[in-house]
Structure formats: C-alpha cells, structure tokens
Amino acid sequence: MAQRLAVVTGASSGIGAASARILVASGWTVVLVARREARLREIAARLEAFGAGRCVVEPLDGADPDAVAAMAARVRARFGVPGAIVNSAGAGVWRWPEDTPPAEMERLLDAPYRSAYHVTSAFLPDLLAQRGGVIVHVGSPASIVPWPGATGYTVSRWALRGYHEALVQDLHGTGVRSCHVMFSTVTSEYFTTNPDSYAHAPSLGRWIPAITPLEAAEVVVRVIHEPRDEVLHPRVLQALRLGERFAPGLARRLVRATGRQRYGRRAS
C-alpha cells in the first residue's frame, strides 16, 4: 500500500463520510471532497477529535474539472500522492425518461460519473508513476440490472461502471487498481436529498436488508486494503449478478415485475 493518504468524494454525507471516519480513526490523512463546505468542516472537526489521522477540507463540485485539477495540485504539493481514492459523490432522483429533460440528464451525469472521472483522472498519472494505489468507485446494482423509472440515475451508474471496466483493462499490470462496489439500500440521506426516488424502488430491493453507511464504509475500506474488481454487498445481491450472466432475460423480467410500471403491459 502506498502512503496512508486518501481522497474521499461525497465526504459530507452517507457512505463517503463514514469511509472518511474509518480511515481517519486508523490514522489516515483524508481529503474530504463535497460541495457543502460547512458540512465538511463540521465532519472534519468531529473526525479529528476522535481519530488518529487528520482531515483536509476541499469544498468543490466534482463535475468541475478545473476545480478538481486545482484540488489535486494542492494535495500533491502538500501531501504527495494518495494511496486511495474513494469516489462516493453521487446524487440523482429516480425518474421516467419523459421526466428527464436534457438539463436534468446532464445534472444526473455530474455525480457519480463526471466526479469520479475528473477526480480519478487528476491523480492517475501520479498513481501510475508510483506504481500503486486503489480507486474505489461506489456504484449501484442498477448498473447490473436496471429497474423501471430510474432512467437518468441508471445511465450515470452505467457510465461509472463503464469507466471502471475500462480502467480495469487499461491499468492491468500497473499496480494501480480500480474497484467497483455496489450496495443494496443504504440508510443515508440519499433518499431525503433525492425525494420520491424510493417510490420507484423495486419491491425485490426491499426484500434485501438495508445496510447502514458505516457497514457500506467498512466494505469500502476493506477493498482499499484488499482490492477486488467488483464487490456486491450484501452477498445476496450476487444472485442478481449470476442472473444477469446466465439468464439475462429472466433477471430483467424479475426486476421489471417487482418495479413500478408506467408504459405497456406489466412484466410482459
């Protein structure tokens, strides 16, 4: 493992904040990235009061490549090259295609996809030069089998997964790892920040136990220490992956049947 310096996006809430908490508790220096500066400062003060590590607050929009590049330059100059990047910035309401006008689609791509792309790209030459580092992308099972009524959300998660899959190929043999972790429902602020989304959740998803941000973060941190290309948590989600691989029609039909329908016949 390269140095114990991590850049964590989405650090003002949910999985990102919880990942930062575990890392700071175990002595890492963590660069906290999100748009809400006051929230980041509050979290940094709390983490430093109890953890062995330290926090650096970098308020920015991950979809802004210039702001990300400036942040990366500051981090590089002050601390060096990160050993880990956690791309957990993410937002996006679950909507049907005709409720997703072009401007909304652009916003949906901002996080996770654009943010993960810009933050990773800003540090990638450094990671390659040091021949090590772990990039953890926090994604969604919607990037395996989408459910109805979450069009733009799904597109952004598939873009993230596509970026990750491309990196796995591109980075092979370099010592730098790209890892994609996908969770069931996480009891973060996500569904408050993105109201009405949960109403589109397939009932299938509701049978899978929800997990806390801390449980999700434990998985993220485990992957930093033991990198894997893909992790689905909890394990029951792996049934979706197997279904998509070996019986894709059936997997889609099942997820469709347990979601809300707007167009056409139910589960036809």
Ligand X SMILES: NC(=O)c1ccc[n+]([C@@H]2O[C@H](COP(=O)([O-])OP(=O)(O)OC[C@H]3O[C@@H](n4cnc5c(N)ncnc54)[C@H](OP(=O)(O)O)[C@@H]3O)[C@@H](O)[C@H]2O)c1
Q: Say whether 210 sits in a helix, a strand or coil.
A: coil
38 C-beta neighbours (distance < 10 Å), count = 10
Q: How far apart are CA 240 and CA 112, in angstroms?
A: 22
Bridge partners (DSSP) listed for residue 9 = 33, 87
Give me the 118-157 binding string for ligand X, x by CB under 6 A, dash otherwise: --------------------x-x-----------------
39 binds ligand X (CB under 6 A): yes
Q: Which helix (H) or strand (E) holds 133?
A: strand 133-139
The answer to whether 178 and 229 have CB atoms below 8 angstroms apart is yes
Q: Measured from the CB atom, is 112 or 259 closer to ligand X?
A: 112
Give me the 165-204 binding string for ligand X, x by CB under 6 A, dash otherwise: ------------------x-xx-xxx--x-----------
259 binds ligand X (CB under 6 A): no
Q: How far is CA 64 from CA 59, 61, 179, in A?
A: 12, 6, 23
Q: Measured from the CB atom, is 105 or 128 closer to ligand X?
A: 105
Query: 89, 220, 232, 255: which one contacts ligand X (CB under 6 A)?
Result: 89
Shortest distance, position 175 Cβ to ligand X, whole Å: 26
**Catalytic site residue 153?**
yes
Gyration radius from the chain CA atoms: 18
Shortest distance, position 167 Cβ to ligand X, whole Å: 17
Query: 1, 27, 36, 266: which one contacts ligand X (CB under 6 A)?
Result: 36
Q: Is the dihedral of CA 198, 203, 204, 209 positive or negative?
A: positive
Shortest distance, position 262 Cβ to ligand X, whole Å: 22
Query: 6, 14, 22, 180: which one contacts ligand X (CB under 6 A)?
Result: 14
12 binds ligand X (CB under 6 A): yes
Query: 19, 29, 100, 115: which one contacts ligand X (CB under 6 A)?
Result: 115
Bridge partners (DSSP) listed for residue 59 = 34
Side-chain-facing half-sphere of 198: CA atoms under 13 Å? 13
Active-site positions read: 153
